[in-house]
Amino acid sequence: MTLKLVTAGESHGPGLTCLVEGLPAGLELDRDAIDRDMARRQLGHGRGGRMKIETDRAYVTAGVRHGRTLGGPIALQVANRDYTNWEERMNPWPVEATVPEVHLPRPGHADLVGTQKYGLTDVRDILERASARETAARVAGGAVCKAFLRTLGVEVVSHVVQIGSVHAPAVDRELTLADFDGIDDDPVRCLDGDASREMVQHINVQRKANESIGGVFEVVAFGLVPGLGSHVSWEERLDGRLAGAICSIQAVKGCAIGDAWDVAGRPGSQAHDEIFYDAERGYHRSTNHSGGLEGGMTTGDPLHARGAMKPLPTLTKPLQSVDIDSKEPAQALRERTDSCTVPAAGVVGEAMVALVLADAYRRKFGGDHVDDVRAAVDAYRARLRQG
């Protein structure tokens, strides 16, 4: 049994759809919890004018009855409020008006290579689907995956560790779920108050200088069983699945599992997590450099996966480009834009990690009803406790 998530929709079209296929029947869903994640993705200092227009909600149109999943595909719909301002330009059907084409590709966006690949002359035919508006649909589906994980004792959270050149101080202990209480009240979703203030300042300064800003977020998952994923084939190794899911987020260019970049420069004796055993705790480790993954499998320690985001491509002082109609030099398209979305990307990262982990639970434990899954997980945990 595997889990699939598919999205459809354009940034300024009528709306977005997410289909989640492969969850068991009987899973209780909390509408408010789903919409909380939708709202969290819209937050963060550095967002642009579009977020003042949208108030995202996920409407369930299939796969759920009276708050419980039925075992079939779940369909979630998110409306684009902005569509009313774009109805002529984005109508699915022909319109009377002449809609001018966009011919100025932005360096760093999908604009140029998309028109080349698909043989299109209007950059809008590419940018509408390339836009990270699509992540609203992913977060709706991710919230359903989180509900599944929550019934198995797993929580997925995130925080921002870098904005532009400002880094949050390293934490020299394992984070706990309690550390994340109230993090959504912070304007950049950073755990350190001083760093947060500096990050906000940095965004303000860069935005004023017509710049966009990237950074790094970290997703942390608590409460996992050891042994999700597998060492036996490259496709089953969870490191690869997580890195793929995180790097699939628009503008994310790198993923680090645990202390990846740091341990690359250390001797082995300072890179690995020594193993201990006592009757009460069973096997355990006193450090977590591995980020909770060894041999492509979860160790049972908190899972840490970071995503490095490049600065957003749309600039208020545009870069050099070429008009794809006249082939003359021109400045890139200047559009309304966010200046920094690392906090939002962290929430999208949660959704993608939740999808990969929920899929890993489905692969390992199967089950048609959520009670069957819980029973299988409990039996597995009991076996591990026996040593």
Ligand X SMILES: Cc1cc2nc3c(=O)[nH]c(=O)nc-3n(C[C@H](O)[C@H](O)[C@H](O)COP(=O)(O)O)c2cc1C
Ligand Y SMILES: C=C(O[C@@H]1CC(C(=O)O)=C[C@@H](OP(=O)(O)O)[C@H]1O)C(=O)O
Binding residues for FMN: 129-131, 250-251, 295, 310-314, 336
Closest C-alpha among 55, 255, 18, 246 to residue 143: 18
Considering only 78, 337, 358, 370, the residue that binds ligand X (CB under 6 A) is 337
Q: Which of 10, 26, 37, 50 binds ligand Y (CB under 6 A)?
A: 50
Residue 11 in contact with ligand X, rule: CB under 6 A: no
The three state secondary structure string of 130-156 is HCHHHHHHHHHHHHHHHHHHHHCCCEE
Contact call for residues 358 and 155 (beta carbons, < 8 A): no
Q: Which does 136 bind (CB under 5 to 8 A by kind): ligand X, ligand Y, none?
A: ligand Y
Token pair listed for 40: 């969290």
Residues numbered 18-57 forming contacts with ligand X, rule: CB under 6 A: 48
For the annotated binding site for NADP(+), the residues are 41, 47
Beta carbons of 225 and 298 less than 8 angstroms apart? yes
- Which string of x and - marks every residue 236-275 that binds ligand Y (by CB under 6 A)? --------------x-------------------------
Specify the long-range contacts of residues 176-184, CB closer than 8 Å, at least 24 apart: 176/222, 177/222, 180/220, 183/157, 183/159, 184/40, 184/43
335 touches ligand Y (CB under 6 A): yes
Give the total of residues touching ligand Y (CB under 6 A): 14
Backbone angles phi, psi at 155, to 5 degrees: -120, 135
Q: Is residue 202 at the binding interface for ligand Y, with CB under 6 A as the rule?
A: no
Handedness of CA 330, 335, 338, 339 (dihedral sign): positive
Q: Is residue 307 within 8 Å of 345, Cβ to Cβ?
A: yes
Using DSSP, state whether 99 is helix, strand or coil.
coil
Q: Of 132, 219, 225, 245, which one interacts with ligand X (CB under 6 A)?
A: 132
> Residue 187: CA atoms inside 13 Å, Cβ hemisphere, count?
17
Q: Nearer Cβ to ligand X, position 158 or 337?
A: 337
Which span sits near ligand X by CB under 6 A: 106-114, 146-154, 162-170, 368-376?
106-114
The CB-of-369 to ligand X minimum distance in angstroms stands at: 35
Is 198 a residue that touches ligand Y (CB under 6 A)? Answer: no
Cβ proximity to ligand Y: between 158 and 290 the closer is 158
Q: Please report whether residue 109 would count as binding ligand X according to CB under 6 A.
A: yes
Contact residues: ligand X, CB under 6 A: 48, 108-110, 130-132, 135, 249-251, 310, 312-314, 337-338, 341, 344-345, 348
